[in-house]
Amino acid sequence: MASRTSAFDLSKCARPNILKLQPYRCARDDYKDDGTNVLLDANENAYGPGLALDAAGNLPAASTVNDAGSPQIDFLGLNRYPDPYQIELKKLLCNLRNTKVHTQKDLTPDNLFVGVGSDEAIDALVRCFCVPGRDKIITCPPTYGMYAVTADVNDVEIVKVPLDADNGFQLQTDKINEALSADERIKLVYICSPGNPTANLIRKEDILKVLEHPTWNGVVIVDEAYIDFAPEGSSLAEWVNEWPNLVVMQTMSKAFGLAGIRLGSVFTTPEIATLLNNMKAPYNIPSPTSVIAQAALAPKNLAVMDQNRTNIITQRERMLAEMPKIPGVGRFLGGQASNFLLVQILDSNGKPDNVTALGAYEAMAEKKGVVVRFRGKEYGCEGSLRVTVGTEDEVTRFLKELKVVLHSLHTGTQV
């Protein structure tokens, strides 16, 4: 076919903020999995789904979730659109979080929005509350990268109030409140707790101080993707019954080991939940996702999830004990409330160093088949790697290969 001429100019047709957008990236953009790698880069649950599956990992084709909590999918019913309301799923999610730790009020399905992972909720909240080209959000670096990507996509300015890197990566509450007082265009504050990549819980009293701001008209969003690895009673989901401008996001990707079904939940007031549900696509949760999520919340499968979580915490404690014995491993940054750790890598002079950390990250992936995450370019994280807690065998391999790689980098020898 002969070439055609056109007046089309992408650089002038696409929105300027999309043309300059820096997309969210992960380690697997650089290192594809060939089936043999140890993947300790994306904070997945290496012990697998929190489901009581058979030895082959098969899901029987039947009609619904059976009494034992086994996931049974009506494959013949996939010609029908899924339930747009997901009330039964929402009831189970509420049951999980109605712990009576923070309030005697019950969460109900009216408090919930469910979406395609937490990322749908992050985007929906920006679109709900922020006018493109005018309004702003606050993020607290170092933090999850999708808050910024979503803001950029929606042409919403980002005001950065970094965490206090010298004091365990906690909120700088006074600075946040000063920013809120100074600019009424700030509509959202995104707080990640436990933090990513810091693995620390944000103090409840600091979140409370932001909620108590006397004049700010905006929404506080607490992202609790890793909350089930934190101590019991850490979730603030129940707080949404006490605060009209609080949103708490959670996911089934981490502790539940169900990253592949893409199911995120938002606990908030019925008024905010109504807005989010009004905005969503009509059938945003696929039927298989809903069935598997409901099965995972049945008692039998919650026990599987709890055992997997216990195994992860055991391996996390092992890593905390054994990694510092490896020459070239520095101190752990942040906290220990998640299924990953943020750790400094030292140069031959014993100082945290991005060159050494990046070299270790690359050598581990390219030559040893162990993929972690280099985080040294983020605020307060110089010379650091973020390492997901794997299975016992994966942790054994990681510790062995890290020791070899760091020795090679410090001595200038070949891996």
State which residues form the domain around 33.
13-50+303-411
Residue at 174 is within a domain:
yes
Amino acid (one-letter) located at 216: W
Q: What is the pLDDT of residue 404?
A: 96
**Helix/strand/coil for 373:** strand
pLDDT digits (tens, 9 = 90+) for 236-288: 999 999 999 999 999 999 999 999 999 999 999 999 998 888 888 888 999 99
Q: What is the mean pLDDT of the chain?
A: 88
Q: What's the mean pLDDT in 99-127?
A: 92
pLDDT digits (tens, 9 = 90+) for 8-42: 465 765 556 555 656 555 555 566 656 677 777 76
Q: In this model, does residue 69 exceed pLDDT 90?
A: no
Residue at 70 is within a domain:
no
79 vs 72, more confident:
79
Task: Match 């401008």 to its residue by tokens.
Answer: 245
Q: What are phi and psi of 135, to 5 degrees?
A: -85, 170
The answer to whether residues 129 and 239 belong to one domain is yes
Residue at 61 is within a domain:
no
Picking from 39, 105, 82, 24, the residue whose alpha carbon sits closest to that of residue 368 is: 39
**Residue at which a domain ends, from 273, 301, 329:** 301
How far is the C-alpha of 338 from the C-alpha of 46, rounded, in Å?
13
Q: What is the pLDDT of residue 22?
A: 67
**Residue at which a domain ends, from 280, 301, 322:** 301
Q: In this model, does residue 65 exceed pLDDT 80?
A: no
Cα-Cα end-to-end distance for the chain: 52
CATH of the domain at 26: 3.90.1150.10
The answer to whether residues 196 and 316 belong to one domain is no
H helices within 369-391, ranges in order?
none
H helices within 72-145, ranges in order?
87-97, 117-129
State the Rg of the chain over Cα. Answer: 22
pLDDT digits (tens, 9 = 90+) for 277-333: 888 888 899 999 999 999 999 999 999 999 999 999 999 999 999 999 999 999 999
What total of structural domains would you count in the chain?
2
DSSP state of 184: T
Please state, as a whole number, how many other Cβ atoms lie within 10 Å of the Cβ of residue 301: 24
The answer to whether residues 229 and 103 belong to one domain is yes
How far is the C-alpha of 266 from the C-alpha of 277, rounded, in Å?
10
Query: In this prediction, what percent of the chain has a pLDDT beyond 90?
Result: 72
The answer to whether residues 332 and 275 belong to one domain is no
The answer to whether residues 38 and 125 belong to one domain is no
Residues 329, 323 contacting (CB under 8 angstroms):
yes
**Residue at which a domain ends, from 301, 325, 358:** 301
Q: What is the pLDDT of residue 189?
A: 96
Picking from 165, 126, 392, 383, the residue whose alpha carbon sits closest to that of residue 275 is: 126
Query: In this prediction, what percent of the chain has a pLDDT beyond 70?
Result: 83
367 pLDDT band (50/70/90 cuts)? Answer: very high
